[in-house]
Structure 1
Amino acid sequence: MLYADIKKYDRDNMFDLILDFPKQIESAWQRARGTSFPLMSSVDKIVVAGMGGSAIGGELLAGLCLEQMDIPLLVHRDYTAPRFINSRTLVLASSYSGNTEETLSALRSAIGRTKNIIGISSNGELEKLAAEFDFFFLPVPGGQPPRTALGYMFFSMLAILQYYGLLPEQDDSVDEVITLTRALGQHYMDYGNPDNPALSLAHQLYGRIPIIYGAAEPDSALPTRWRNQLSENAKVLAFANVLPEMNHNDIVGWHPASTFLDRVFVIFLLDDAISDRVRTRIEISREIITARGAPSCIISSSGLSKIARLFSLLVLIDYASFYLAILNRVDPTDISNIDYMKRELAARLA
């Protein structure tokens, strides 16, 4: 039955894009590692300008860099560039389509304040701006939804930071990511296997509101990516937060006054590197949530390197959100609300 539903609802072959993710990572890394980037003046901060699926790679990278880089990396999601951008700032303009209006606007306001600019996209207006203002442009293959191009965007930026010596060498970690995501994908793609963790998770989430909690390890952007994949692929509202922050606000909402608690499903994303204090906070938080009658589960990362552990959890939600879309009888690729927003913006602001 699931096979027939996949054929019916996955009209744009999202499943194939998810299957090919390890190849995408390998391609992105080889392309970027084989690129000679321009000479750059001394850099003391990095700004990634992007939105949606093109920004999440920057968020994940920022988390990875906290312990491996000596300068700050900020992900900027808005129309204007931060005031602090100057000649010592590296700006990475990340727009898979090359036409994201917020990213292009922020980029235009940064041009003239720094020459350290690299654009990353499949084509579009961003490529034209690079030619007009003479900054470096790194092309990536196009033709797919931005949220499925995380491998192209994240690993291109990772290679750039390694090239300029801002990050230590990542080649061994990237090799591990490719091997691990390929092995996990072989397991998750088998929707005829009742022990498939991705399919089991989709069934647990079916008909419920997902709430995802994570921690700084392996990356505080993980819950955000999980939430976004569930919203875009499965067409469900989902919510996300991180510990210990949620223990200072969100946790109070687990109260009988919240009348929908019997309709949620809570996921805690766990990693071996989480500190004992945060691990204990997760245990106590889960006790509070369980006492309110909400089902929950803990999902642990796998892998040795930080980046491999990160992507072990990212590939799981790709498959689980796809299966949930099929259970919900919706096209996982469809983004009708975003398309409507773009049309109405164009019409009303013309």
Structure 2
Amino acid sequence: MKRVWLREVVSLKLSKEDIERVDREGLYKDYEAWPEQAESVLRVSIDLREVNVDKVVYCGMGGSGCAGDILQDLSFTRPKFPPLYVVKGYHLPSFADESTLVLTVSYSGDTEETISAFKEALEKRCKVVGFSSGGELEKICVENKVPHVKLGRALTPRSALPYILYSALSALERLGYELVSTTELSNTIALMRKLRETIGVASEPKDNEAKQIAHHLYNAYPIIYGPQEFRGVLTRFKNSLNENAKVHALVEILPEACHNDIEAWQPDAFSLRVLFAINGSDGRMRKRFDTLMELVERSGVEYRSIYVKEDTLFESIVKLLYLLEYTTLYLAVLRGVPPAPTPNIALLKKRLSGD
């Protein structure tokens, strides 16, 4: 009874006024504008010519890097698409060569790891495209006559994800390597607009799934389970829980989790809260999820499930992505922590700049 009472009190903290009181920088406004971010990308013609490559490398860190994870998940379902690798560090893989397309993405344009990878790509004579909102990356692209895609402005890289993701998808299409059709891109914009009506800041908690999930995860250590095709989205969710809500989180991917993680569910599991993200179109995974839910429940841990089943994988990814991103914002508000500032990351960058 005490736990239910606590949840009822907490639910009063998610009015628009409560959100604005905690989110003083107005990060929520970026999330409210995600459909318009994506739409603005599709209105601009990206000036790129087709290339002939046999592999693709996506380089990016943090909020700029998560789009690469999503592209990689999509590429697994496209048999004619070249192998796609994601680099989150300073160096390209050793196989990068003249037949490699390298997408270097830094929202600020000043990410040192991505700039290092960009310079390596030039040395290896790869086919390179840069993406940034400005900064050093744009400058060295111009200096080296490398195509550069200008990204729209937002408060943070993570809240600019549609600018990054839809620009990368549009660029790939222009380069001759389509992952998502123009129709699909347009459909996801309409999907986000519709979803915003029920998960946006003005929606009441009783009708808002994102606010309800935030309540579920409040004051606990979240463990998130999902299938392989949602790996990129759930990794992004974990990262945004870290940055927005300032909490640790764990992501486990099925079916692999059924070969190790599942054994850890014992009756002594404390302070945990589980979220299942299930692709409703994959019946083969259902028994695995059902068994895992049974073990979680037997351990005395609360869980909640999200079932996603849209017409295409990309539509399912975008729906889940938007829902979970709002969840991290609402969890930050419940915890009373401003979601936009990332002081620990700023401290590290300051110390690195002094080397």
Residue equivalent to 2:264: 253
Q: Is the 8 A contact 2:46 2:171 kept in 1?
A: no
Work out whether 1:178 is the aligned partner of 2:186: no
Q: 2:235 aligns with which of 219, 224, 247?
A: 224
Residue 271 of structure 1 corresponds to: 279
Q: Residue 174 of structure 1: SS of its match in structure 2?
A: helix
Distance 1:188 1:143, change over 3 A: closer
2:181 aligned with 1:146, yes or no?
no
**Do the aligned residues in 2 keep the contact of 1:180 with 1:312 (CA within 8 Å)?**
yes
Residue number among 78, 82, 93 corresponding to 1:71 in the alignment:
82
After TM superposition, the score normalised by the length of structure 2 is 0.92
Give the RMSD, CA atoms, in angstroms: 1.5
Deviates more, 1:187-196 or 1:328-337: 187-196
8 Å Cα contact 1:5-1:329 kept in structure 2: no
2:169 aligned to 136, 144, 158, which one? 158
- Is the Cα–Cα contact under 8 Å of residues 213 and 241 in structure 1 kept in the other structure? yes
Q: Note if contact 1:215-1:274 (Cα within 8 Å) is conserved in structure 2.
A: no
SS of residue paired to 1:267: strand
State the one-letter code of the partner of 1:72.
Answer: P
1:136 maps to amino acid: P
CA displacement at 1:130 relative to structure 2: 0.4
Aligned equivalent of 2:127: 116
Contact 1:90 1:116 in 2 (8 A): yes
Q: Which residue of 2 aligns with 1:207?
A: 219
Per-residue CA deviations over 1:177-234 (Å, capped at 9, x if unaligned) read 01111111111123434221111111111101111111023x3212211111111111
Report deviation, 1:115: 4.1
Please state whether the residue corresponding to 1:36 is helix, strand or coil. coil
Partner residue, 1:19? 32
- How far apart are the structure 2 equivalents of 1:225 and 1:35? 26
Instruction: State how far apart, in whole Å, the 2-side matches of 1:71 and 1:154 are.
Output: 18
The answer to whether the 8 Å contact 2:96/2:126 transfers is: no
Take 2:117 and 2:62, find their aligned partners in 1: how far apart are those partners? 15
Name the aligned partner's letter for residue 77 of structure 2.
E
Give the match for residue 98 of structure 2.
87
Contact residue 132 and residue 138 of structure 2 kept, 8 A: yes
> Counterpart of 2:110 in 1: which secondary structure?
coil
What is the DSSP-based 3-state SS (H/G/I as helix, E as strand, rest coil) of the residue aligned with 2:56? strand
Who is 1:289 aligned against?
296
1:49 and 2:62 aligned:
no
Kept in 1: contact 2:30–2:154 (CA 8 A):
no
- SS at 1:293's partner residue? coil
What's the CA shift for 1:53?
A: 0.6
1:52 alignment partner AA: G
Q: Is the 8 A contact 2:46 2:174 kept in 1?
A: no
Provide the rounded CA distance (Å) in 1 between the counterparts of 2:195 and 2:154: 25
In structure 2, relative to structure 1, the CA distance for the partners of 1:102 and 1:181 (3 Å cut) is same
CA distance in 2, matches of 1:39, 1:183: 35
Code of the residue aligned with 1:61 in structure 2: it is L
Letter in 1 for 2:58: V
Distance 1:158 1:168 in 2: 7
1:101 to 1:247, Cα distance in 2 relative to 1, 3 A:
same
Q: For residue 118 of structure 1, give the secondary structure of its aligned residue in structure 2.
A: strand
Q: Which of 6-15 and 179-188 deviates more?
A: 6-15
Matched, 1:298 2:305: yes
The answer to whether the 8 Å contact 1:115/1:135 transfers is: no
Listed as ranges, the gaps of 5+ residues in structure 2 are: 1-12
- 1:63 is displaced (CA, Å) by 0.4
In the other structure, the counterpart of 1:35 is 46
State the 1:275 CA deviation. 4.1
TM-score normalised by L of structure 1: 0.93
Instruction: Check the 8 A contact 2:169/2:179 in 1, yes or no.
Output: no
How far does residue 263 in structure 1 lie from its aligned partner after superposition? 0.9
Quote how far apart the aligned CAs of 1:57 are.
0.4
The superposition leaves residues 260-281 of structure 1 with CA deviations (integer Å, 9 ceiling, x where unpaired) of: x2311111111122241x2211
Aligned to 1:59, which of 69, 83, 96?
69
Q: Return the alpha-carbon distance in structure 2 between the equivalents of residues 61 and 70 of structure 1.
A: 11
Are the equivalent residues in 2 in contact too, given 1:302–1:309 (CA < 8 A)?
yes
